[in-house]
Amino acid sequence: MKRLYEVNFLVKLVAAFLVMAAAWLVASPWPAVLIAALVVLLLCVTRVPGLGGYLKGAAILVAMVLVTWSINLGLQGQPLAEALPTAVRMAARLVATTAAFFFVMETSTPGSILAAASAARFPPMATLVLSLVFGIIPMLREEFLRIADAQRARGMEIDGVPFHTRLRYALARGIPLLVQSIRMAQAISTALAVNGFDAATKRTTWRQVGLLVEPRLPLNEVRKP
Amino acid sequence: MLAIEDLVVAYQGQDVLHGISLQVEPGCGALVCGAGASGKSTLLATACGVVPRLVNAERVTGRLQLGERDFAEIKRAELFSRVGIVFQNLDDQLFDLEVEDVVAAPLENRGVPRAEIRARLAELFEELAIQDLGGRRVLTLSGGERRMAVLAGALAARPELLVLDEPTTGLDPAARLRLERSLSAVRDRIPLILAADQDAASLAGAMGRIHLLQAGQLAGSWPTAEALALRTPWLEAGLLPPRRQERPVRAGAAAGGRVLLAVEGLRTRLTRPNGEPVLHDVTLELRAGEVTGLVGRNGAGKSTLIQTVLGLAPLAAGRIVIEGEPAERWTAARRARRVGYLPQNMRRMLFNLSVLDEIAFSVGGSTATIGDPEIRARAARALAPFGLADKAEASPFALSAREQALLGLACLDAAGCAVAILDEPLLARDRQGRAMLDLFLRRSHEAGRAVLLISHDLELIDDLCPRLLILADGRIAADGPTEGGWASPAFQALGWPAPEAPWRIAS
């Protein structure tokens, strides 16, 4: 199933848009729930990195949508039997959408995105923007975890403490995360500049790109100059 | 030819370079050596156009010429297509790409056809012996492996001028030798090479001339062979001479104190691409007052070992005993209060807003006590021995790499941990930095602390560590007195020259 990770980023992106459109276009709640369940099943079967975190977030999202929509519609005079299916449909739409794009984001490396966009002869600036939008979020998440590890390695007890303390420490990571985000943006811009990135020149790629994007160079099969 | 004439660069009202003039001749690489903060990185960044094209300086005057043309006449895109650059801190030029992407980037950006890029990648991977890195995310590599990937990227486009800032940092001796050979081999294809490194001997075979930089001024220039034979100019420039005259008295020579850290049969859950655990049977002991050196190839698992001991990487099997207590179930923070760690890149360990806050955190062990006046006073006192008293209010992120390493030492010392692990401290060849390292080791010895020093600088290990550990094939392959370690089968298997080996000189 890991071969699904290698599917061309643009194909995954189109598929995610189609899933989102289907979830939002269906009129009744249960087909939307079915779509959401199928996408979450896909995440589980393919063991997408960060799945545990996503499922926690999705569970909180579902609970919040069900409660707030039911209350809101109830205050507007709808009986619970009518309000609840509407809330379920909305929660399912959101889960289907976020899960589909989570799959795209977590299974596409910035390199594979650059390759797919370069092979499609996208303008260099569009290639760059796509790569950054989808590539930087996992990088920031890893940076957040890395800062937590740095805090642990310096002796800050962030594991065996009550939830509110853990939350406070997590919020305290905001400042170093901001500093690192700025550095990361600077590193990306510097890397592009010193490697001769030029918005006027269309990029090529070392990867074979088709329905799948080659994840590594088969050194034995390449003819050396 | 690269010609630099009367170059002055100033930041924040202070001249960093004072009228530097030097020339890099085709086929005759130039190596700039100098102590920390002597201006090496600024000189290199200006010589390749990063300053002021990408990084602003308050003032840049003088003349720089590449070939027949002034830098000012060359457009940015053209300049960076003619120059290959490797920065000292790789975090400044890397993001989360696969290794092939990093190496291929300059070619892809120039629109080179796929077949040509692939052939070039295959050639470079073989030349630099980095085939095992293929397909791996660059941010998951060890420091030395990352540097090899970036070096391959800089060589890929065969630039006219190659600028390398501390290229040997984090490289094991075999990788240094491969780098030196590669630089020698590409001299006909890459005519101009300008490098800065504190370890002159490692690059000697590829460089024709050495320039010594002292406080932003050129202190002298010599043909490489001549420079390596000198002593006084190196000492005056704040560096240890490339040829060791004598070995200093080692701190912690009288070992044999109680065991402070014991690792038994450690196996990691982290595996290599072939499914084998990175470490499968590591057993070692660190004793009070002892300084132990640890060496191993790039990617041997040294950092993984430390991460596992610290509780940051999962343990599959084995025991970790800290000060006599089983610590496998301890949280990482609890372990860290006994086992302090100075990583290769200290910037990764910083999370406070000022230098004083960082050390106050180490003194108090909590963010809650950072504001306590007594803790702050102790923290301020702890900064002084490491020469950071005047930086107390500075942002730790704004310090130089060397200053951050010193801050790391100060934090470790102030935290009073039983065990200190120093991972490739960036202080080895700089006299002042080495003095600080010696100070830390002396204080550790007096405090009965055990120190584990991880480094690829074999002379540093030989100078400072009475005991040597060699990590190979997922286990400790040799453990004993350092002199014997250099003659052990495990060290022979690495194929590295022992510290006493004669230096190779450029012909």
**Statement to judge: residues B372 and B433 lie in one domain:** no
pLDDT at B273 (0 to 100): 80
**Does residue B253 sit within a domain?**
no
Q: What is the number of structural domains in chain B?
A: 3
> Inter-chain contact A196–B348, Cβ cutoff 8 Å?
no
What sign does the dihedral B189-B193-B199-B201 (CA atoms) show? positive
In the stretch 454-473 of chain B, residues with CB closer than 8 A to chain A read none
Report which of A213, A114, A203, A7 is spatially closest to residue B114, judged by C-alpha positions. A203
**Does residue B224 sit within a domain?**
yes
In a 3-state reduction of DSSP, which class is residue B436? helix
The CA distance from A154 to the nearest CA of chain B, in Å, is 6
Report which of A53, A135, A55 is spatially closest to residue A95, judged by C-alpha positions. A55
**Statement to judge: residues B355 and B306 lie in one domain:** no
**Statement to judge: residues B173 and B315 lie in one domain:** no
In a 3-state reduction of DSSP, which class is residue B4? strand
**Domain end point (choices B358, B383, B415):** B415
Tokens matching residue B308: 């596992």
**Statement to judge: residues B322 and B360 lie in one domain:** no
In a 3-state reduction of DSSP, which class is residue B158? coil
Is the CB of residue B131 less than 8 Å away from at least one CB of chain A? yes
Distance CA B316, CA B304 (A): 13
**Statement to judge: residues B442 and B307 lie in one domain:** yes
**What secondary structure letter does DSSP report for A121?**
T
Asked if omega into A162 is within 30° of 0 (cis), the reply is: no
The residues that bridge with B10 in the sheet, in sequence order, are: B15, B59
> Inter-chain contact B135–A142, Cβ cutoff 8 Å?
no
**Domain end point (choices B415, B443, B458):** B415
Taking contacts as CB-CB distances below 8 angstroms, the residues of chain B near A49 are: none
> Inter-chain contact B333–A172, Cβ cutoff 8 Å?
no
In the stretch 300-329 of chain B, residues with CB closer than 8 A to chain A read 310-312
Distance CA B157, CA A190 (A): 17
Taking contacts as CB-CB distances below 8 angstroms, the residues of chain B near A157 are: 331, 333-334, 366
Taking contacts as CB-CB distances below 8 angstroms, the residues of chain A near B50 are: 190, 194
pLDDT at A2 (0 to 100): 78
The CA distance from A100 to the nearest CA of chain B, in Å, is 22
In the stretch 400-419 of chain B, residues with CB closer than 8 A to chain A read 411, 415
pLDDT at B473 (0 to 100): 94
Least CA distance to A109: which residue of chain B?
Answer: B97
Residue holding tokens 């004993």? B480
pLDDT at B346 (0 to 100): 84
Distance CA A89, CA A87 (A): 5
> Inter-chain contact B341–A153, Cβ cutoff 8 Å?
yes
pLDDT at B246 (0 to 100): 67
Taking contacts as CB-CB distances below 8 angstroms, the residues of chain B near A171 are: none
**Statement to judge: residues B277 and B401 lie in one domain:** no
- Cα B331 to the chain's mean position, in Å? 29
Assess contact for B136 and B101: CB atoms under 8 A: no
Taking contacts as CB-CB distances below 8 angstroms, the residues of chain B near A207 are: 100, 114
Tokens matching residue A36: 């959401």
pLDDT at B350 (0 to 100): 85
What number of C-beta contacts closer than 8 Å exist between A and B? 191
**Does residue B251 sit within a domain?**
no
Taking contacts as CB-CB distances below 8 angstroms, the residues of chain B near A123 are: none
Task: Give the tens place of pLDDT for each residue, B104-130.
Answer: 999 999 899 999 999 999 999 998 889
pLDDT at B503 (0 to 100): 45
Residue from A133, A141, A194 whose CB has the most chain B CBs within 10 Å, to mutate: A194
Distance CA B288, CA B417 (A): 11
The CA distance from A215 to the nearest CA of chain B, in Å, is 6
> Inter-chain contact A155–B336, Cβ cutoff 8 Å?
yes
**Statement to judge: residues B172 and B227 lie in one domain:** yes
**Does residue B243 sit within a domain?**
no
CA distances B408 to B65, B173, B294, B396, B411, Å, are 40, 25, 19, 10, 5
Question: In terms of residues, how long is chain A?
Answer: 225
**Statement to judge: residues B107 and B160 lie in one domain:** yes
The CA distance from A4 to the nearest CA of chain B, in Å, is 16
In the stretch 154-183 of chain B, residues with CB closer than 8 A to chain A read 157
> Inter-chain contact B362–A154, Cβ cutoff 8 Å?
yes
**Does residue B285 sit within a domain?**
yes
pLDDT at A157 (0 to 100): 85
Among A151, A154, A193, beta carbon nearest to B80: A193
pLDDT at B245 (0 to 100): 67
**Statement to judge: residues B324 and B357 lie in one domain:** no
Taking contacts as CB-CB distances below 8 angstroms, the residues of chain A near B371 are: none
Residue from B82, B86, B146, B351 whose CB has the most chain A CBs within 10 Å, to mutate: B351
Q: Which amino acid is at B413?
A: D
Cα Rg of chain B, angstroms: 23
The CA distance from B501 to the nearest CA of chain A, in Å, is 35
Is the CB of residue B64 less than 8 Å away from at least one CB of chain A? no
Taking contacts as CB-CB distances below 8 angstroms, the residues of chain B near A200 are: 77
**Statement to judge: residues B190 and B305 lie in one domain:** no
User: Residues 6 or more apart from B369 whose CB is under 8 A from it?
Assistant: B360, B375
User: Residues 6 or more apart from B114 whose CB is under 8 A from it?
Assistant: A204, A205, A206, A207, A208
Taking contacts as CB-CB distances below 8 angstroms, the residues of chain A near B107 are: 204, 206
* Domain housing B427: 258-338+417-507
Q: What are phi and psi of A71, to 5 degrees?
A: -65, -45
The CA distance from A55 to the nearest CA of chain B, in Å, is 23
> Inter-chain contact A204–B117, Cβ cutoff 8 Å?
yes
**Does residue B250 sit within a domain?**
no
**Statement to judge: residues B305 and B165 lie in one domain:** no
ipTM value of the model?
0.85
> Inter-chain contact A201–B361, Cβ cutoff 8 Å?
no
pLDDT at B502 (0 to 100): 42
Tokens matching residue B348: 């990764």
Task: Give the tens place of pLDDT for each residue, B431-490.
Answer: 888 899 999 999 999 999 999 999 999 989 998 999 999 999 999 999 999 989 999 999
Taking contacts as CB-CB distances below 8 angstroms, the residues of chain A near B137 are: 109
Is the CB of residue B433 less than 8 Å away from at least one CB of chain A? no
In the Cβ-directed half-sphere of A58, how many Cα atoms lie within 13 Å?
22
CATH number of the domain residue B465 falls in:
3.40.50.300
Is the CB of residue B122 less than 8 Å away from at least one CB of chain A? yes
- With a cut of 50, which residues of chain A have pLDDT below it? none
Taking contacts as CB-CB distances below 8 angstroms, the residues of chain A near B104 are: 205-206
Per the rule left: phi > 0, alpha: psi between -120 and 50, beta: everything else, B247 is: beta
pLDDT at B507 (0 to 100): 35
**Statement to judge: residues B67 and B167 lie in one domain:** yes
Among B80, B104, B137, beta carbon nearest to A206: B104
**Does residue B247 sit within a domain?**
no
What sign does the dihedral B237-B242-B248-B254 (CA atoms) show? positive
Assess contact for B336 and A152: CB atoms under 8 A: yes
- With a cut of 50, which residues of chain B have pLDDT below it? 501-507
> Inter-chain contact B349–A153, Cβ cutoff 8 Å?
yes
Least CA distance to A119: which residue of chain B?
Answer: B114
**Does residue B331 sit within a domain?**
yes
